[in-house]
C-alpha cells in the first residue's frame, strides 16, 4: 500500500478519497520541516501547500518518494530540477482555483475602475460625492493578459461577457487566438491595453520583471492587476508608476513580501504610501482561495494521484 503524508491544511475530502482509492494517508498539518524530514523516508507521496521549500537537501531524506502534490497552482516552493533529477513527479492543481481567480480579477478591476474603496469610505463618513466617484465602464476596453495558462484563459473567458478586446501574451504558448482572444506580442499589450493583468508563474525569468523599465514601456495610462505572485512586481515601481500617471490604479492580491511584520524600512515606507492611495486596492493573496476552490483543488489532486499510479501500471 502506497503511503502519503499531508503536511498542510487541506480539505477533508483529500484524505477520505485517497483512503477510498487504497492509499495509506497520514494527515499531519501540524508538522514542521524538521519533523517531516525525520519521517518522510518511508512515504511515496507528499502533499503540501506552501509550508516549506522542497529542494535537493529535502529530497535526500525521501528516497522512496514518487510524487509531490502541490495544493494550488504555483510551484515556486519546489525545486523542479531537483525533482526531475531524483525522478519524483510534481502534481499541482491550477484547474482547482482558476474559477476563483477568474471571478476575483474582474471584481477587483470593477472596484478599482468605479472607486468603490473611496466611495464606500466617504458615504460612511457622511460624504455624498457623486461626481468625485464617477467611474469607468469595462465594456469595450482592451484588456492585456500576460500569461495565458489556466488562470489567464479563465479570466479572458469571464471578460468576454463585458465585450472586452482581450490581448493575450504568453512567452511559451502559440496559436491560442479565438473569437474573443487576440494572441499578440508583449509590446502590443504595452502599447494598446487599457488594463494589464498578470497570470504568470514566479521563476528566474519573471522575478521582478515588472519594474520601472517595464512600466515606462506602457504607452497610455492603464489599470494594473497582479494576482499571480508578488515577487514578479517591484512595489516601489508600482508606486512610482502611480505617481507619474502611468497607472490609473493598481489592484494587488499578492505582494513582494507578504509577511508584513518582516518588511524592511524601505518596503514599509512603500506600503504605507500605497495604503494611503484611493487608486490602490489590496486583497491578502485570496484570488484563488474560495470555499469552493478549497475543495476543488483537493479533488483535482486526488484525480491526478489516481491517474499517476494508473499510468505507472500501463
Please work out, in degrees rounded to the nearest 5, the angle formed at the alpha carbon of residue 189 by the alpha carbons of 185 and 190. Answer: 115
Marked catalytic residue, from 26, 117, 277, 285 = 285
pLDDT per residue as tens digits for the range 229-285: 999 999 999 999 999 999 999 999 999 999 999 999 999 999 999 999 999 999 999
pLDDT per residue as tens digits for the range 97-153: 999 999 999 999 999 999 999 999 999 999 999 999 999 999 999 999 999 999 999
| Residue 234 known to be catalytic | no
C-alpha cell recorded at residue 100: 476563483
- Same fold for the domain at 3-92+291-313 and the one at 97-282? yes
CB 225 within 8 A of CB 202: no
Q: Per-domain residue ranges for the chain?
A: 3-92+291-313, 97-282
97-282: CATH, from 3.40.50.10800, 3.40.50.720, 2.70.150.10, 3.40.50.1970? 3.40.50.720
Q: What is the C-alpha to C-alpha distance for residues 227 and 210, in angstroms, rounded to an integer?
A: 13
Marked catalytic residue, from 11, 104, 153, 229 = 229
| Residue 258 known to be catalytic | yes
> Which secondary structure element, helix H or strand E, spans residue 169, and what is its range?
strand 165-169
Is 180's pLDDT higher than 90?
A: no
For position 314, what pLDDT does the model report? 63
Of 218 and 312, the one with more pLDDT: 218
**pLDDT over 90, % of the chain:** 94
**How many H-runs (helices) and E-runs (strands) does the chain carry?**
12, 12
| Residue 285 known to be catalytic | yes
Marked catalytic residue, from 137, 258, 269, 292 = 258
Residue whose C-alpha is closest to residue 248's, from 206, 277, 285: 277
CATH 3.30.2270.10 fits 3-92+291-313, yes or no: no
For position 312, what pLDDT does the model report? 77
CB 166 within 8 A of CB 148: no
Amino acid at each position: 500500500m502506497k503511503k502519503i503524508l499531508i503536511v498542510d491544511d487541506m480539505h477533508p475530502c483529500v484524505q477520505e478519497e485517497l483512503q477510498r482509492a487504497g492509499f495509506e494517508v497520514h494527515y499531519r498539518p501540524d508538522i514542521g520541516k524538521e519533523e517531516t524530514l525525520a519521517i518522510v523516508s518511508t512515504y511515496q507521496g507528499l502533499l503540501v501547500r506552501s509550508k516549506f521549500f522542497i529542494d535537493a537537501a529535502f529530497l535526500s531524506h525521501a528516497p522512496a518518494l514518487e510524487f509531490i502534490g502541490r495544493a494550488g497552482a504555483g510551484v515556486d516552493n519546489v525545486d523542479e530540477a531537483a525533482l526531475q533529477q531524483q525522478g519524483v513527479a510534481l502534481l499541482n492543481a491550477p484547474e482547482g482555483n482558476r474559477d476563483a481567480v477568474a471571478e476575483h480579477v474582474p471584481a477587483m478591476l470593477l472596484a478599482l475602475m468605479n472607486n468603490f474603496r473611496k466611495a464606500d469610505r466617504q458615504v460612511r463618513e457622511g460624504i455624498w460625492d457623486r461626481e468625485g466617484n464617477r467611474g469607468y465602464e469595462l465594456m469595450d476596453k482592451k484588456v492585456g493578459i500576460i500569461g495565458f495558462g489556466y488562470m489567464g484563459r479563465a479570466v479572458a473567458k469571464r471578460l468576454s461577457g463585458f465585450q472586452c478586446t482581450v490581448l493575450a501574451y504568453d512567452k511559451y504558448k502559440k496559436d491560442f487566438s479565438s473569437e474573443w482572444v487576440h494572441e499578440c506580442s508583449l509590446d502590443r499589450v504595452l502599447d494598446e491595453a487599457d488594463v494589464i493583468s498578470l497570470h504568470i508563474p514566479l521563476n528566474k525569468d519573471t522575478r521582478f520583471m515588472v519594474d520601472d523599465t517595464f512600466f515606462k514601456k506602457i504607452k497610455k495610462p492603464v489599470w494594473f492587476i497582479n494576482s499571480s505572485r508578488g515577487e514578479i512586481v517591484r512595489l516601489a515601481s508600482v508606486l512610482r508608476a502611480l505617481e507619474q500617471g502611468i497607472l490609473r490604479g493598481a489592484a494587488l492580491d499578492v505582494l513582494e513580501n507578504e509577511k508584513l511584520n518582516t518588511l524592511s524600512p524601505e518596503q514599509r515606507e512603500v506600503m504605507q504610501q500605497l495604503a494611503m492611495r484611493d487608486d490602490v486596492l489590496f486583497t491578502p493573496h485570496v484570488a484563488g482561495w474560495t470555499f469552493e476552490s478549497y475543495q476543488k483543488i483537493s479533488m483535482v489532486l486526488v484525480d491526478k494521484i489516481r491517474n499517476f499510479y494508473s499510468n505507472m501500471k500501463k
